[in-house]
Chain A
Amino acid sequence: MPKHYRPAGKKKEGNAAKYITRTKAVNYLQVSLAIFRKLCILKGVFPRQPKKKVEGNHKTYYHTKDIAFLAHDPLIEKFREIKVHRRKVKKAVAKKNRDLADRLLNRPPTYKLDRLVLERYPTFVDALRDLDDCLTMVHLFAALPAVDGERVEVKRIHNCRRLSHEWQAYISRTHSLRKTFISVKGIYYQAEVQGQKITWLTPHALQQVLTDDVDFNVMLSFLEFYETLLGFVNFKLYHSINVNYPPILDPRLEALAAELYALCRYMSAGSRRMIGNSQTDEVMEDKDEKSKAEEVIKEEKVVKNKASSKADESELRLAQLQHQLPTNEPGALMNLVEESTADDADDDDTKDCKGLFKNLKFYLSREVPRESLLFIIPAFGGTVSWEGEGAPFKEIDEDITHQIVDRPTQSHVFLSRDYVQPQWVFDCVNARIILPTEGYLVGRVPPPHLSPFVDNDAEGYMPEYAETIKRLQAAARNEVLPLPGIGDEDLDNSLVAAMMDRTASNEAAEKKRKLEMLEKQYIDELKKEIDGVAFSSLSNKEADKSPNAKDDTQSDREEDASKQEEDDDDDIGTALMSRKQRGLYKAMKMGKEKKKEKVELLKKRKKNADSGASSKKRH
């Protein structure tokens, strides 16, 4: 470690002074390796790669200033306290001093990571940029079971579940969701919050199995920091839309496994109450809240005295807790849509997303992934319900426009609604239009689910369904803009003209080819007729052979000439380049060739699939 003075010849200089190995760092900090790892994760310290590895290639190097940074953190002392406390408890248990052990366990040393969040992310936008890994980890642990073998605590899993639901409720409320994709690993979402694109992965709503080859200690250290970070982010985001944080949920909806819906109702009630308030009203409301809390306490005592709690009293208590939350009436979520129309400060993207499923009413069958669709459909302005108690409306409601079904057969069919598979919702979200439902009806194989994260133009390969969606988008744009402005008109016209030009040129080229083929056939037939009429069979054979040979030689000569011209052009181009530029050009060519090969492979697969499908149809 750095010394203040050393005589010449005995100093450490260069990489030897700048970098330190992991073993020496652990020894310097006087902590165990596990605690060192945890500290590095929490403080964001990671190994470096010095150009000159002084003590060998096989070692892990840290920057000396990073280790000094760790040494001055209060957490390191706190971790030592925790270790000592654990040892005391173990000793008390070993000496069968149960009272002392209980006393020690009742007062464990605790620490908070709030300071670390503020230290690592000085501004809010920095935190939003780093939120991808945080959200993915929190959503993963929300779906994991609490198993005895691992150190995954029950309280932690419930906290992750709460945080993930709060985040989803905010995204749904502000209509910030932009892209969704169902993959084998889970469901990808992309949202745009304050200008930052945030992408995260949610596991499928099935059981997760913990494997042996994953080190959960490292993941739990990351999770510890990410929980705190997401709590801070949720706090700031909720206050930016005038909603109190943490939210108070309706216990009845919570008991019915509808936390996301309860959060949506809380947010709508909270925003409605908060919008029309001034500062003095807020002060008054604070006093009212205190008095209401006292009343709630009194009522609880009365209820205990009565030894029986009625539904009315519980509802009254709920109303006071929720500050006059509206009752659970059918169409309660319509308030969300009405309120959302009042906001005018949204950007164009949010307006598009807000109006996609507007005036549509969805009903989810039992087998569809409910939490995912409850998150997506309100985020795009739709109203949604499901089977079971606590739902805003029932299946027999006549206003339902779409029912999401994923079962081979349907028992009862209402004629006034479309029965579509869940993929329709995801594809509509990615295309930003209401897609036709014929391809997604119950019992059919839906169209391919395309990834919204792939840029087809850059890839050079446009799937067939993507072209269909593009055409539908163009048609929808024409419908959406009946009286477009001058700029929009020019853009639309130019786009349409470009499309027309491309299609026209393609058709013209095809026609030219056909005409050339027809001309060749005509000429050959004329020659055969002339020869047939004039000469005998032997002369006919000889005559046929000789022009073919001539044509072959001519075509060969032409091909050689064209190849020579192309090679000459390439040589002229590369002759003027330097060696470095020539190498770069070669690398670019190789990259393009690889991409072309990939596209050819996709096309070949598509041909095989089509031929397979056609053969099946024949059978």
Chain B
Amino acid sequence: MGAGGEEAPRIIVPMAVEGTPNQLAFVEESKLQKRKENVDWAVRNRERRAAKRQRIRDEHKVAVRRPEEFVTAFRNKERDFLRMRTRIKVRSQPPVEALGSRLVFAIRIPGSVDLHPHIRKVLRKLRLTKVLTGVFLRATELTLKRLLVVEPFVTYGFPNLKSVKELIYKKGRGFFDMEPFPLTSNDLIEKALGDHGIICLEDLVYEIATVGPHFREASRFLMPFQLKCPERRLQMKRKPYRDGGDSGNRGDKVNELIEKLN
């Protein structure tokens, strides 16, 4: 017991000039170090994640590709194109008035990366270029025809007010001045869509849900919604939904899918 214990070094409080008893406001050095460490960790974490994503992308780029892959890709493209043409020719579209709702929410589902240029162009027109993204569309004949063209790669249905509201409130991103913005304040919405009478987030929800006169501007203002990949990756089949698959028209069942992905 002879060693005893060393006393903790006491913190010397800095005094004001000229020896007055008032002490200056100060923060302990360890706390300042901790704050700096937190900031550094955040920066390092962000860089590490970006580097990981870039590394994965590079690995995919550098992979050696054999001639069979090109042949298979070409044949898949041709087959998809022929099926699309047959689908357009054979399938009869129900009239727009017979649908349950005039609002359509289309989701790009995971599928093939080999797309025919025509199908790719139609997907770009619908703004569904990334997997697990969704957009609101007005149910017109042209829109339904486009959805028929890209049916194996897209699933769509008629969302209810709850799904519309949750999507816009949680995943909505506005597009203003060539930049995406999170909808964290009503000022941005008023600046972008105030000319059309939409001044707040709830107005935006109302316009989308009721397919109002300014639906096109409101829909264009909203960028495609990035939906979350579920815990168990979906086994997305390319058969139509009514035939037991996952693509095509789901009707009202799209709300369950939205709830799973949002």
Contacts and interface: CB of A to CB of B under 8 A. Distances in A.
Partners in one complex: yes
A184 to B, nearest CB: 12
B157 to A, nearest CB: 13
A392 B186 CA distance: 28
Which size class do A's interface residues fall under? 20 to 34
Interface stretch (B38-46, B105-113, B118-126, B148-156): B38-46
Contacts of A407: 199
Which size class do B's interface residues fall under? 35 or more
A113 to B, nearest CB: 20
Given A105-B232, A207-B182, A207-B183, A212 B200 contact: no
A195 to B, nearest CB: 36
A256 B161 contact: yes
Interface in A130-148: 143-148
B162 A257 contact: yes
Given A207-B183, A212-B46, A255 B162 contact: yes
B202 A145 contact: no
Interface string B195-216: 0000111110010000000000
Nearest to A253: B162
A154 B199 CA distance: 29
Contact of A52 (B5, B42, B45, B206): B5
Contacts of A387: 206
A54 B184 contact: no
Contacts of B84: none
Contacts of B61: none
B96 interface: no
B228 A154 contact: yes
Contacts of A388: 161, 206
Nearest to B159: A255
Nearest to A161: B166
A56 to B, nearest CB: 9
A209 interface: yes
Contacts, number: 79
B83 to A, nearest CB: 28
Contacts of A148: 226, 228-229
A212 B201 CA distance: 25
Contacts of B30: 58
A205 B202 CA distance: 10
Interface string A553-566: 00000000000000
A567 interface: no
A511 interface: no
Interface stretch (B62-70, B136-144, B167-175): B167-175
A207 B184 contact: yes
Contact of B203 (A145, A205, A208, A366): A366
Interface string A40-61: 0000000000001110011000
Contacts of A338: none
Contacts of A256: 160-162
A149 B5 CA distance: 48
B228 A147 contact: yes
B32 interface: no
B244 interface: no
A367 B189 CA distance: 12
A83 interface: no
A367 B186 CA distance: 10
Nearest to A146: B228
B59 to A, nearest CB: 16
Contact of A366 (B184, B186, B202, B228): B202
Given A52-B5, A148-B228, A149-B49, A205 B169 contact: yes
B185 interface: yes
B231 interface: yes
B206 to A, nearest CB: 6
Contact of A154 (B49, B164, B261): B261
Given A154-B262, A209-B184, A367 B202 contact: yes
A53 B8 contact: yes
Contact of A158 (B46, B186, B201, B259): B259
A554 B193 CA distance: 74
A508 B41 CA distance: 67
B165 interface: yes
B230 interface: yes
Given A206-B185, A212-B46, A367 B203 contact: yes
Contacts of B184: 206-209
A254 interface: yes
B199 A367 contact: yes
A145 B225 CA distance: 12
Contact of A255 (B185, B230, B255): B255
Interface string B33-54: 0000011001001100100000
Nearest to A16: B5
A370 interface: yes
Interface in A186-207: 205-207
A213 B186 CA distance: 25
12 contacts: A57-B8, A148-B226, A149-B49, A154-B261, A206-B169, A207-B169, A207-B183, A254-B162, A255-B162, A257-B160, A387-B206, A388-B161
Interface of B: 5, 8, 30, 38-39, 42, 45-46, 49, 160-162, 164-166, 169-172, 182-186, 199-203, 206, 226, 228-232, 255, 259-262
Q: Top 9 nearest A-B pairs by Cβ distance?
A: A145-B170, A255-B160, A257-B162, A213-B42, A207-B183, A367-B200, A257-B165, A146-B228, A257-B161
Given A146-B170, A366-B202, A407-B199, 6 more contacts: A145-B262, A154-B230, A207-B169, A256-B162, A257-B162, A257-B165
